[in-house]
Amino acid sequence: MLKIGARIGAGDRTIDLSRTVEIHEAHYRTGTLTVAPKFVEPNPEELTRIKAEIALKDKVFATSAPQPLWTGDFRAPVHAPPTDSFGTRRMFNGELASIHKGMDFRAPMGTAVHAGNSGVVVLARPLYYEGNCVVIDHGLGLYTISMHLSRIDVHEGQHVAKGQLLGLSGATGRVTGPHLHWAVRWQNAYLDPAKLLRMDLAAVR
Ligand SMILES: [Zn+2]
């Protein structure tokens, strides 16, 4: 059993968002993908870039706003079919195994990608694996991350409203083809975005 969540507000206007959850082992599938060799065996120069980007992301994920920046329920970032791929174990080019920590939407090249909720853009730039990437801080350690974009239409430090255009989907970074990878990070763990989209957050406004 684990107690998660937060109390928000001030004085007698506080909302308790904590829940007690039972934790069970999950069973996920394994998939095999083929990507450009540089994404499986990066050269020393690429490794230096990857390390710098890890440090950058650590910094971004360590400085969430202390209050919620979102209001109400989250919305899907694109009008495209989602795939049930969270937690899938993946082999890249028959070697590298990694766990898929997001949701892939079958978005054709150039599909408009929207903010799932309001927040602040804390990262908006090209990254090695993620491609053109936009990270929104929604506060209290909750982030949504859009990857592999063909175009970024927001800048770091910008406040965005729910549904605001972030950019266009694409196939940049480690991909096998155009799609939107959408990840949800909550207090240093990746959650299944499908679960966030089903949550009733009407109390937060
Ligand atoms: Zn993905």
Q: If DSSP codes are grouped into helix, strand and coil, which group holds residue 137?
A: strand
Q: What per-residue confidence (pLDDT) applies to 10?
A: 66
Residue 26 pLDDT > 90:
no
Kindly report the pTM of this predicted structure.
Answer: 0.86
Q: What per-residue confidence (pLDDT) applies to 205?
A: 58
Q: What per-residue confidence (pLDDT) applies to 84?
A: 75
Give residue 33 CA to ligand 1 midpoint distance, Å: 11
- Please name which of 94, 96, 81, 105 lies closest in space to residue 169, comparing C-alpha atoms: 105
| The pair of three-digit structure tokens given for residue 42, joined into one six-digit string | 């990066």
Residue 87 pLDDT > 80:
yes
Give residue 108 CA to ligand 1 midpoint distance, Å: 14
User: Which residue type sits at 104?
Assistant: D
Residue 188 pLDDT > 70:
yes
Task: Read off the pLDDT band of 5 (50, 70, 90).
Answer: low
Give residue 114 CA to ligand 1 midpoint distance, Å: 17
Residue 90 pLDDT > 90:
no
Residue 169 pLDDT > 80:
yes
Alpha carbon distance 101, 184 (integer Å):
8
Q: What per-residue confidence (pLDDT) applies to 2?
A: 64
Give residue 203 CA to ligand 1 midpoint distance, Å: 30
Give residue 160 CA to ligand 1 midpoint distance, Å: 23
Q: What per-residue confidence (pLDDT) applies to 23?
A: 76
pLDDT in tens, 118-136: 999 999 999 999 999 999 9
Q: What per-residue confidence (pLDDT) applies to 29?
A: 73
CA–CA distance from 83 to each of 80, 180, 181 (Å)?
10, 10, 10
Mean pLDDT for 57-78 is 96
Give residue 130 CA to ligand 1 midpoint distance, Å: 9
